[in-house]
Every structure is written in C-alpha cells, then in structure tokens.
C-alpha cells in the first residue's frame, strides 16, 4: 500500500490539476473578501466573512468530496485502477490508499485555502461583529471527521457505479436527500427526530441550536456536548464508509 500511496502522491503533485484547484480556491477566497471589502455595506467586516463559513459547515464536507472527485473521477477511464490490481495490489489496499491520499491532499488544499481566506479577511476587512477566528478554527476541528467521511463516501460512490453521475447522485442522496427526508418524517413521527439530528446536514441547523448571523454566533460545536456530537457523527461516518468500501469493493469486477 505504501508504494501505491507514494505513486498516487507522485501523480498528483506532477500534474497541473491540483495546483489549478488550489489556485482557484485560494483566488476565490481572496476575491470574495476583496469584493466584500470594496462594496461598503454593514457586511464589510471580518465577522461576515467568517460567518459565511461558520454558518455553512457542510461547505468543508463538500469541498473534501469535490477534491476527491477531481483526484479520482477518471480512475476507471485512464486504467490506473486496473493496472494497480494487475500489479498485485488488492482492492482493499487501493481503496484505503485512495482515502489516505485524498484526505492528506484535501487537508493540504483546504489549509492553504483557509489560510488565504483568514489572511485576506484580516488584511482587507475591518474587525467587528460576533463571529471570531476561534469560531472558525473550532468549526474546522468539529467538521474535519465529517469532511473525511464525506470524502470517503465520495470515493466509494465513484468506485461502485460505472457512471460518475450515478455515483454523484448516490452521494447526494446519502448526505442530503435521505437525511432531510428522515428529518421531515421526524417532524411527524417524533421518534425519528433524535436520529435525524445526528446526520451532519441536520446537525448544523437551528433545530440543533446553530444560529449564526450579524447579531449572534451560536454554533453547534460551542458546547462540549455539541462538539462531541460533531466528532462522533464524523467518526461514525468515517468508520461506516470505510467498512462499506472494504466490503463492497473487495470482490468487485473491474
């Protein structure tokens, strides 16, 4: 598996895509803050900039999955999966290797992007409002495992389906459609509601106490209980999707 991971890292850092993604995300971060700074409104402050991320933690989860998609969407088309199997690398090692590589690369890309966001906000916007850097940094800690789970499920969906679009739809269903359906059912059948609130896309809603705007910043992770809930949800998802990948891909024909 070590050789597989090394080869994948070689590939990623010796092709232009990863630099293009990182550059684009970094540029967008800076441009966003520049735009907010140039348009002089009551939102032209650091708090508003941070709140865009703090109020929408699923952005991080989706970003992880999007980077994984860019890294592995052409996997079947360019024959690398088949060649790796023919080299004697087991499907489980390939899947695990991909998850490790995607997690490391996504973490690096998101660190750079986030740094660009924070630095550009600090340089271009004035300091006021209820959302602080601490809220953003704690959000990263709370959401990290959820983003990893999101990314692993993304890789799994791409591997399981012949067509990428089917994988994307399934991924969307797992992370958004099904949890929202359970949540809506939970409104009518109360016994479903506690379970529904463990799904990440419901976890960061007003029902779970999250309330971020220009006046206040109450996040789902600003209590110990809330933070634990985020971590447990992310950890469970990571374990669940990793095991599912191992089980589903172990004997899959290519």
Partner 1 sequence: MNEYVIETKHLTKTYGSLLALNHVNLHVKKGSIYGLIGDNGAGKSTLLKLMAGQIFPSDGEIRIFGKQKQKELENTRRNIGCMIEQPEFFPNMTVEKTLKYYSIQKGVPDTKKVEEMMDLTGVAGKRNCACKTLSLGQRQRLGLAVALLGAPQLLILDEPINGLDPSGILEFRSLLHRLNEEQNITILLSSHILSELQQTASFYGFLSKGQLIEEITADDLTNKCSDCVEITLSDIERYAAVFEAAFPAESWKILPDNKIRIYMPKQNPESYSRLAAEHKIYITAMQTIHSSLEDYYVQLKERGTTK
Based on the shown chain and the rule CB under 8 A, indicate whether residue 162 belongs to the binding site for partner 1: no
Query: How far is Cα 52 from Cα 47, in angstroms, rounded to an integer?
Result: 9
Q: Mask 56-75, x = binds partner 1 (CB under 8 A)?
A: ------------------x-
Q: Mask 222-251, x = binds partner 1 (CB under 8 A)?
A: -----------------------------x
Using the rule CB under 8 A, give the single segment among 2-10, 21-29, 217-225, 229-237 that binds partner 1: 2-10
Based on the shown chain and the rule CB under 8 A, indicate whether residue 253 belongs to the binding site for partner 1: yes
- Identity of the residue, 84 or 109, whose beta carbon is nearer to partner 1 in the bound complex: 84
- Identity of the residue, 101 or 142, whose beta carbon is nearer to partner 1 in the bound complex: 101
Q: Which of 39, 40, 41, 77 binds partner 1 (CB under 8 A)?
A: 77
H-type helices in the chain, by residue range? 2-13, 17-38, 46-54, 58-72, 80-86, 91-124, 133-160, 164-172, 178-188, 193-196, 200-203, 224-249
Q: Which of 34, 58, 59, 89 binds partner 1 (CB under 8 A)?
A: 89
Alpha-carbon distances of 116 from 31, 113, 196, 246, rounded to whole Å: 10, 5, 35, 36
Shortest Å, Cβ 1 to partner 1: 11
Q: Which of 56, 80, 222, 244 binds partner 1 (CB under 8 A)?
A: 80
Torsion sign, CA atoms 76, 78, 84, 87: positive
Q: Phi-psi bin for 39: left (phi > 0), alpha (psi -120 to 50), beta?
A: beta
Query: How far is Cα 1 from Cα 164, in angstroms, rounded to an integer?
Result: 25
* Binding residues among 4-23 for partner 1 as defined by CB under 8 A: 4, 6-7, 10-11, 14-17
Q: How many CB atoms lie within 10 A of CB 214?
A: 15
Query: How far is Cα 52 from Cα 71, in angstroms, rounded to an integer?
Result: 26
Name the maximum alpha-carbon separation found in the chain.
60
Size of site (CB under 8 A) for partner 1 = 27
Based on the shown chain and the rule CB under 8 A, indicate whether residue 24 belongs to the binding site for partner 1: no
Under the rule (CB under 8 A), what is the footprint of partner 1?
A: 3-4, 6-7, 10-11, 14-17, 74, 77-80, 82-90, 251, 253-254
């Amino acid at each position: 598996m070590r050789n597989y991971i090394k080869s994948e890292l070689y590939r990623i850092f010796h092709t232009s895509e990863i630099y293009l993604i990182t550059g684009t995300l970094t540029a967008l971060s800076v441009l966003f803050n520049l735009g907010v700074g140039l348009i002089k409104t009551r939102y032209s402050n650091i708090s508003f900039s941070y709140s865009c991320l703090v109020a929408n933690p699923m952005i991080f989860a989706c970003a992880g999955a999007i980077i994984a998609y860019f890294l592995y969407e052409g996997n079947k088309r360019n024959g690398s999966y088949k060649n790796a199997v023919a080299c004697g690398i087991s499907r489980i090692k390939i899947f695990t290797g991909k998850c490790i590589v995607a997690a490391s690369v996504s973490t690096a890309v998101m660190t750079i992007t986030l740094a660009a966001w924070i630095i550009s906000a600090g340089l271009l916007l004035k300091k006021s409002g209820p959302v602080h850097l601490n809220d953003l940094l704690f959000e990263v800690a709370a959401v990290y495992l959820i983003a990893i789970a999101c990314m692993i499920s993304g890789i799994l969906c791409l591997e399981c389906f012949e067509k990428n679009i089917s994988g994307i739809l399934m991924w969307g269903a797992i992370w958004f459609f099904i949890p929202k359906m359970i949540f809506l059912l939970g409104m009518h059948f109360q016994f479903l509601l506690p379970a529904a609130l463990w799904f990440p896309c419901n976890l960061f809603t007003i029902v779970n106490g999250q309330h971020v705007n220009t006046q206040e910043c109450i996040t789902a992770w600003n209590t110990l209980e809330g933070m634990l809930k985020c971590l447990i949800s992310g950890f469970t998802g990571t374990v669940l999707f990793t095991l599912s990948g191992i089980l589903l891909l172990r004997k899959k024909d290519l």
